[in-house]
A and B are shown apart, each in its own frame.
Chain A
Amino acid sequence: TQLLEQSPQFLSIQEGENLTVYCNSSSVFSSLQWYRQEPGEGPVLLVTVVTGGEVKKLKRLTFQFGDARKDSSLHITAAQPGDTGLYLCAGEGGGSEKLVFGKGTKLTVNP
């Protein structure tokens, strides 16, 4: 069974600070996705990383896929209150018909 461990589970920071969220597994994934979920809504896809070592940037968010394709990180620079939400990573295993989700990191950015 493929599992994805996210850390930290909760993170509360002040506006303007930087932060990193981690997504780790002992399994190899063919791709990893990051979603953000705001209260009362469903998760929304932020990015997909496919190649080991790949780095993608989305404004102040930087996503990295580990060289061995077992882990990923999300770094937010100069966090803003609008970044508040639940961040979920999800992995696709080879040939699978469904994604494996981590339990999420709940981020609160205080003004």
Chain B
Amino acid sequence: NAGVTQTPKFRILKIGQSMTLQCTQDMNHNYMYWYRQDPGMGLKLIYYSVGAGITDKGEVPNGYNVSRSTTEDFPLRLELAAPSQTSVYFCASTWTGDLISNYGYTFGSGTRLTVV
């Protein structure tokens, strides 16, 4: 049981380049999330999805896009990378029927992105 798998683990982008951060979960979780984590700033929600074909913005969506064509995959697309997008990105998932608290979030191990 792999849980949540994120690729790549590290990446350096030049300003203006684009890339896709991959996230796959094998737990049949319905909810999936993308966060970015900057030093001292905690986790900030970028986008989330409550099921295949449904996505919604979090608190910092600008400069990012997502899609959810299957239950398992939730890729995050960066268009026209900027230095402000230098961060560590985490994907998370959970199964929720009535309460998220029943299960908690399962996080991937993160992607460290540097934009130069």
Residues of A in contact with B (beta carbons under 8 Å apart): 9, 30-31, 33, 35, 40-45, 48, 50, 88, 90, 92, 96-99, 101-104
Contact A42–B101 (Cβ < 8 Å): no
Contact B40–A103 (Cβ < 8 Å): yes
Query: Which stretch in B14-22, B64-72, B104-112 binds the other chain?
Result: B104-112
> Does any Cβ of A come within 8 Å of B81's Cβ?
no
Contact A102–B42 (Cβ < 8 Å): yes
Contact B100–A40 (Cβ < 8 Å): no
> Does any Cβ of A come within 8 Å of B12's Cβ?
no
Number of CB contacts from chain A to chain B under 8 A: 62
A96 to B56, CA, bound (A): 13
Contact A92–B101 (Cβ < 8 Å): yes
A40 to B9, CA, bound (A): 10
Which 8 pairs across A and B sit closest by C-beta, in order of nearness? A42-B107, A31-B101, A103-B42, A45-B104, A101-B43, A48-B101, A92-B100, A43-B107
A9 to B42, CA, bound (A): 11
Residues of B in contact with A (beta carbons under 8 Å apart): 4, 31, 33, 40-43, 45, 48, 50, 56, 58, 90, 92, 96, 99-102, 104-110
Q: A40-B110, A42-B108, A101-B42 are in contact. List 6 more A-B contacts (CB 8 A).
A: A35-B105, A42-B109, A44-B107, A45-B106, A50-B101, A102-B42
Contact pick for A97, options B31, B92, B101, CB 8 Å: B31
Residues of A within 8 A of B107 (CB): 42-44
Contact B99–A99 (Cβ < 8 Å): no
A28 to B10, CA, bound (A): 38
Minimum distance in angstroms from A61 CB to a CB of chain B = 16
